[in-house]
Amino acid sequence: MDGNYYMIQDHLIFIGVFAVFFFLTISIYLWIQNRKIKQNNNKLSEANSLIEQRLNDVQLEQIGNKLNPHLFKNILNSVQSHAYQTYMSLDKLANVLDYILYESNHKFVSPKEEFGFALSLIEINKIKVNPLFDFRIKSKIDKSDPIYEEKVLAPLISVDLIENAFKHTDFLAQDSFIAIHMELEERVFTMKVSNKASLKNILEKEKSGFGSQSLDQRLKMIYQNFYHISKSSKNGIFTAELKINLGEFYDKMRYTR
């Protein structure tokens, strides 16, 4: 009787030990499989991020390829239409072409470089307009701002607003004007452009051409939640304002490198 009791007890102990060993083995196996799944998911996530980044780069490259020839055409038309101002035109044109050929290939330029380009582009466009036309060009640039010379601003980001102002302004109206304000203060880039537009031009603006679409695409892909752009039309005056929080964007770039 006692022998059977101890035999049964030994069997129960064996079964208990086996069950514990079995569950430990299963748990370790499941833990290993779960770890492998997490590693695979991380690899897939990294691969998806790389693919998404590459798609963004390709889209930006395509936008740039479409934008640059369009910009060249507008600039050359301005220079050609006013041959008597050729010398000054070519001087400004050289600055613009250098920027397009060398700086625009970079993913980012400094606000200092973009401001210089924007001013040259404005001067080239002014050539085809009556010297008495009401231009209001202002800038408020804090050169001591730490972001002023950092590579944090997308090249040619100012083209669309400037080109549209000259393209859609009613230059024959007596109260016609173009006002361009550029600002860099507290690490925030601001560009505000207003112009007097005819009814026909206002309707054309509402249809939105390639330039406006390309700007919106670039801003969304590059700056995501760090920018704001607004466009409005009131009493024949069209206003577009772009703000980019370069400081916060720069901080994010540094932390994600």
pLDDT single digits (tens) 213-251: 678 888 998 999 999 999 988 888 899 999 999 999 999
Average pLDDT over residues 108-117: 93
Nearest by Cα to 100 from 138, 70, 55: 70
Nearest by Cα to 125 from 174, 195, 76, 91: 76
d(Cα 251, Cα 154) in Å, to the nearest integer? 16
Quote the CATH superfamily of domain 34-256. Answer: Histidine kinase-like ATPase, C-terminal domain (3.30.565.10)
Average pLDDT over residues 32-48: 65
With a CB cutoff of 8 Å and minimum separation 6, the contacts of 41 are none
Give pLDDT, residue 210: 38
d(Cα 210, Cα 203) in Å, to the nearest integer? 15
The domain limits of the chain are: 34-256
Look at strands 178-185 and 227-234 and give their pairing: unpaired
CB 247 within 8 A of CB 189: no
Report the side by side order of strands in the sheet with 237-245.
135-141, 178-185, 188-196, 237-245, 227-234
d(Cα 139, Cα 74) in Å, to the nearest integer? 24
Asked whether the predicted pLDDT for residue 180 surpasses 90, the reply is yes
Task: Tell which wins on pLDDT, 88 or 47.
Answer: 88
Q: What are phi and psi of 230, to 5 degrees?
A: -135, 145
Task: Tell which wins on pLDDT, 54 or 190.
Answer: 190
Burial class (CB in 10 A: 0-12, 13-18, 19+), 2: exposed
